[in-house]
Chains A and B, each alone.
Chain A
Amino acid sequence: MRRLSLFLPIAAVLAAPAGLAADAAPSGKAVYEHWCAPCHAPGPGHPGTQSLQVKYGGRTPAVLLERKDLTPQAIAAFVRTGVLSMPPFRKTEVTDADLAALSRYIADTAAGR
């Protein structure tokens, strides 16, 4: 254990919201990293990416941030209705503003902006 904990009350009362900041303007990157990346990031251990590799067989990128063909409507449809093992996401998880920011982030990243 670190010496610090012997002298300081590490019982820090945080009272900070976990996850995304509720009242700040949503960051598309933060929404992506919190809600999408655990399944759709590149590399092994990401079941969304693995499943899309099988689906597309390399014809379309399996990694979400490499997709240039996803419209905001398509992203909203996947987020709000789900597909296969991916469930829909409620508005207490991904707000409409989060969703719009996410769509912009995916489009900008895929376009290299």
Chain B
Amino acid sequence: MALPPNVSQAAFDAALRAWRGAVGADWVFTRDEDVALYRDAYSPFWGEPEEKVASAAVAPQTLEQVQAVVRTANEHRIPLYAISTGRNLAYGGSAPVLSGSVVLDLKRMNRVLELNERNAYALVEPGVSYFDLYDAIQKAGLDVWIDPPDPGWGSVIGNALDGGGGWTASPFRDHFGSHCGMEVVLANGEVVRTGMGALPNGKSWQHNKWGYGPWVDGLFRQGNMGVVTKMGFYLMPRPEVLCTSIVQVFEQEHVVPLLDVLNLLENQHVVNGSTQLFNGAFGPPGTGARPVWTAQVPIYGPEKVVQAQMEYCREKFARVPNCRFTMGEIFRTPLDAATLGRVRKVNFGVPDLSTFAMLGRTQASPDPAGGHIGFSPIIPRTGEAVLEYLAFYRENLAQVSEGGKLNFLGPVFMTNWERTMVAMIMFPIGRDKAMNARMRAAFERWVELAAARGWAEYRAPAAFQDLCAQTYSFNDHSLRRFRETIKDAVDPNGILSPGRYGVWPRAFRNR
């Protein structure tokens, strides 16, 4: 068993004894084979000395147990790394950012504390997955939807805190943005409730997210200022229908007016679904009948309203040169089983794991790497920016891909959040250390090249969180230094998730 950094054997033994007393011996894991279960299955450093691994894990089931575990860690200055369901694959999974940290595994805190149909919200603990929340809603017979991300086994809280997004309507697709109130254990063990939750006998914790005074919830997004033990989330009243139309243009530069119209429609909240943008820029030239750009235009809502909104969309897209608008099928909800079997379930609020098919064996790829990581810079949501990014990608592709020998995939343009365009590049990661090293080098190169053009990552694998944080360097890293000031104030011993998203406490800053 490895020791946490800067911790003596005696201090670690004392902490383990205290944790066993607090949560029960069965839920403190120190044997190598148990701790190995916390390795990041998609680690780009798998099996190498730099792989980020835990020293132990402790799994509380209640708020009071979390407080006890944190107080003990603070007393002995042992770094903890909090995970919720630990399914944050491609972003670190259940492994810590700082090797040797003790994983604070919150999976056993799996209660759906409240479901409210009238005001459409849920209050959950960190171990509740999207599958769990969906099942609880079905069991209660409530007429509300969740917004699932691609993998349904992820934590509702964990995904929101990591900055994840989903596939139904705005604003629910922005998982952090659609939360309302949280409960947090600070490094000294104290419990804080945010927003209206700070009011004793408050009755509107999940009704108003702002509360009174400076809003602090953002400190816990991609952060390490506390351990979040409860969060409220807005749910979506089941929409009558979903209709997804398709718009296509046939010239490269027509992505500019296409996105202008799409942006207008989304910013008017006429289009509320997830409008993805697909390009055929690396296929045959965009002449003839083959579209160069395709966007989907999904609208959720009452059928009569959606019909009218779609007509409005058709009129607006008519101003785009040579634009083909194909009206989509109207899906009336709830879907029957046969219909659900032929659609992408997550677009209908039903969690699944079908996305993993892209990582599994196929006839074309019978021996895949298995894992992946992604570089996902935010670029402006304009056609000009999309074209600039495409040109940038082409200019650098040969060099970064070693003349085409590295099979990373990109760019994939995603519009999961309002007013946002993500231009993702995906890298296969497996058990071939030499290939992983080349993929890491390519990842790092793309980060550097993109930062030089003013584009940077919204969310990063644990191995690259420092690298990506360093690109946000305005005014001599003043934002990072500000966060460090807060971190040192609220967690002076630096015990909570050191290094997460590039925020290092004083104790480890010069490691």
Contact = CB atoms under 8 A, between A and B. Distances in A.
A22 B39 CA distance: 24
A14 B108 contact: no
A94 B332 CA distance: 37
A84 B135 CA distance: 28
Interface string A32-45: 00100011000111
B22 to A, nearest CB: 15
A1 B240 CA distance: 10
B133 A18 contact: yes
Interface in A7-65: 9-19, 22, 34, 38-39, 43-48, 50-52, 54-55
Contact of A12 (B114, B135, B143, B153): B114
Interface stretch (A67-75, A85-93, A104-112): A85-93
B364 to A, nearest CB: 10
A16 B27 contact: no
Interface in B105-140: 105, 107-108, 110-119, 127-129, 131-133, 135-136, 140
8 residue pairs, one from A and one from B, having the closest CB atoms: A18-B132, A51-B360, A87-B41, A85-B359, A84-B370, A54-B361, A47-B356, A47-B357
A82 B61 CA distance: 26
B110 A91 contact: no
B117 A10 contact: yes
A87 B40 CA distance: 8
Interface string B20-59: 0000000101000110111101100000000000000101
Contact of A55 (B57, B111, B361): B361
A90 B107 contact: yes
Contacts of A48: 356, 360
Interface string B415-441: 000000000000000000000000000
Interface of A: 1-2, 5, 9-19, 22, 34, 38-39, 43-48, 50-52, 54-55, 80, 82-93
**Residue of B37, B38, B87, B128 with most partner-chain A CB within 10 A:** B37
A38 B112 contact: no
Contact of B356 (A17, A44, A85, A90): A85
B398 interface: no
Contacts of B237: 1
A18 B368 CA distance: 34
Contact of B108 (A13, A15, A22, A84): A22
Contacts of A80: 33, 37
Given A54-B363, A85-B359, A18 B352 contact: no
Contacts of B129: 18-19
Contact of B111 (A1, A16, A45): A16
A34 B360 contact: no
Given A14-B140, A34-B131, A38-B152, A85 B360 contact: yes
A54 B116 contact: no
A91 B89 contact: no
B113 A1 contact: no
Contacts of A12: 114-116, 140
Interface residues of B, number: 63
Contact of A1 (B105, B143, B357): B143
A47 B108 contact: no
Contacts of B371: 85
A57 B133 CA distance: 36
A27 to B, nearest CB: 15
B112 A14 contact: yes
Given A10-B118, A18-B110, A45-B352, 6 more contacts: A2-B143, A11-B115, A39-B356, A85-B360, A90-B94, A92-B105
B370 A85 contact: yes
A46 to B, nearest CB: 7
B142 interface: yes
A38 B131 contact: yes
B59 to A, nearest CB: 5
A92 B27 contact: yes
A18 B86 CA distance: 16
Interface string B152-165: 11000000000000
A46 B361 CA distance: 12
Contacts of B119: 11
Contact of A92 (B108, B116, B135, B360): B108
Contact of B132 (A5, A19, A43, A45): A19
A14 B237 CA distance: 19
Contacts of A93: 85-86, 107
A43 B342 CA distance: 11
Nearest to A39: B353
A48 B360 CA distance: 7
A12 B122 CA distance: 10
B338 to A, nearest CB: 12
A52 B38 CA distance: 25
27 contacts: A1-B237, A5-B118, A10-B142, A11-B114, A11-B116, A11-B118, A16-B111, A18-B112, A19-B131, A34-B131, A38-B152, A38-B153, A38-B353, A39-B353, A45-B354, A46-B354, A47-B356, A54-B361, A80-B33, A85-B360, A85-B368, A85-B371, A87-B87, A87-B89, A88-B41, A90-B105, A93-B107
A12 B42 CA distance: 39
Contacts of A86: 41, 356
B335 to A, nearest CB: 14
Interface string B343-384: 001000000111111011111001010110000000000000
